[in-house]
Amino acid sequence: MLTNFRRPRTERMRGGGAYVEQRTNSWAALVGFLLGRGYSAPAIAEALADGTSDATVRKMAQRWGLPAWGRKADGFIVIPMKLRDRATIASRAAQEGLGQEEYCRQFLVAGARERGTFRSVVKEGLDL
């Protein structure tokens, strides 16, 4: 699922071999980054693939004081896009009197309701 992320080293010898640090700062940074992107705790635990449980991820987020992402039934979609496309969306949203997120949410939900909507909006061969 998250194959495009480089997994950080999670063990490092400290103090000339006096002890082994189990969780490095890069590991914690990756967890924080994925939490900020809206990934669920089970998805983060699966991406780490080092035996970390989803309960550990949730507890870390709570201890760090990170905001909880909505209700358990909520989901988040993170879409990378060009700055120009984002500016276009911002201007269209402002014309409708909506924020960018709400404009995109309404557009995606309305476009996904009927099967033929995608082809009527997105032209064949259009390079986005």
Q: What is the pLDDT along the chain (128 residues), one digit of tens a residue?
A: 555 656 555 555 556 666 666 777 888 888 888 888 778 888 888 888 888 898 998 898 889 888 666 556 666 777 888 999 999 999 999 999 998 889 998 988 888 888 777 777 777 665 65
Examine the domain organization and report whether 55 and 89 are in the same domain: no
Q: Is residue 18 part of a domain?
A: yes
Same domain? For 17 and 48 the reply is: yes
Task: Give the C-alpha separation, 31 to 25, whole Å.
Answer: 10
Residue 105 lies in a domain: yes
Verify that 48 and 19 share a domain, yes or no.
Answer: yes
Rounded Cα distance, 108 and 93, in Å: 13
Total structural domains in the chain? 2
Distances (CA, A) of 55 to 2, 45, 61, 93: 19, 9, 10, 38
Q: Report yes or no: 100 and 92 within 8 Å, Cβ to Cβ.
A: no
User: Is 116 inside any structural domain?
Assistant: yes
Statement to judge: residues 26 and 59 lie in one domain: yes
Tell me if 35 is assigned to some domain.
Answer: yes
| 78 assigned to some structural domain | no
**What is the value of pTM for the model shown?**
0.52
Residue 9's contacts (CB-CB under 8 Å, 6 or more residues apart) are: 24, 26, 27
For residue 27, give the amino acid letter: W
Q: Looking at the structure, tell me whether residues 18 and 51 fall in a common domain.
A: yes
Domain annotation covers residue 1: no
Residue 55's domain comprises 12-64
